[in-house]
Amino acid sequence: MAIFKGAGVAIVTPFKENTEVDYDRLGKMLDYQIENGTDAVIICGTTGEASTLTHEEHLECIKYTIDKVNKRIPVIAGTGSNCTETAIYLSKEAAGYGADGLLVVTPYYNKATQKGLIEHYKAVADSVDSTPIIMYNVPGRTGCNILPETAATLVKNVDNIVGIKEATGNISQVAKLMSLTNGDIDLYSGNDDQIVPILSLGGIGVISVLSNVAPKKAHDIVAEYLKGNTKESARLQLEAIELIDALFCEVNPIPVKTALNLMGMEAGPFRRPLCEMEPKNLEKLKNAMVNYGINIK
């Protein structure tokens, strides 16, 4: 059984002005997401600036989210690292807190061969017993691509590796993966502009940046498709394209955190090396938000 079907929010980590984690604001954001139909929460992923959190902050964010959500919807913890032992440590802790699943990104910077990826994921999976794992394939950020054959090998041979967040942007690669696995993998789009194409190949949802600012709309894109209303799903997807483009006009999560601040959601500042948006991109974001019907305060 899949950890979730639908739109899972890759939620930001709100900071106070001194860049400490703002847990009160995180709690309000979690409630807002649940109240607006989000199907799962993914905490401490790329959008959550996990790479700038200390291990202690990383784990506290995961534990806080699990406790705050309190089983209302699934919580998936980002526990990947470029070091296998660190990924094991974070994964074991998150599993112990009661995470419904783990999102484990490919090793970044030092990367890995395909053989190394199999060993890495198998070691992490073996360390957490039955907690299900979603592999996260985003070579544009990590420089490391899980090839379809590798993903298929892992899903077929490791019981608790159950899914993949596909953010390669390569639809042909996704199609090959689904062919090699006979569709027996929980496939999630990692790109908000490709939700419907991924669903058409057998996907069951999206792990979404868009959901931070438009949770109901992101949910509906997937829900309509899964109900068989493909034309309505495609309409909603295309309607969101301008905003999605704006949310990625600079490095994620700079635009989405800016958008939340513009909405009065108090996501706070960034941790370096992230910085404020360029003025021309900020105007692009504001215009896209207004055109999509989002109120700016």
> Which residues are annotated as catalytic?
136, 165
Query: Which long-range contacts (C-beta less than 8 Å, at least 24 apart) are formed by 23-26?
Result: 23/64, 25/265, 25/266, 25/267, 25/268, 26/61, 26/64, 26/65, 26/68
**Helix, strand or coil, per DSSP, at residue 165:** strand
The tokens for 68 are 């705050």
Euclidean distance between the first and final Cα of the chain, in Å? 41
Burial of 20 (0-12, 13-18, 19+ CB in 10 A): exposed
- Residue 253: phi and psi, rounded to 5, are -105, 30
Can you name the residues that pair with 78 across neighbouring β-strands? Answer: 103
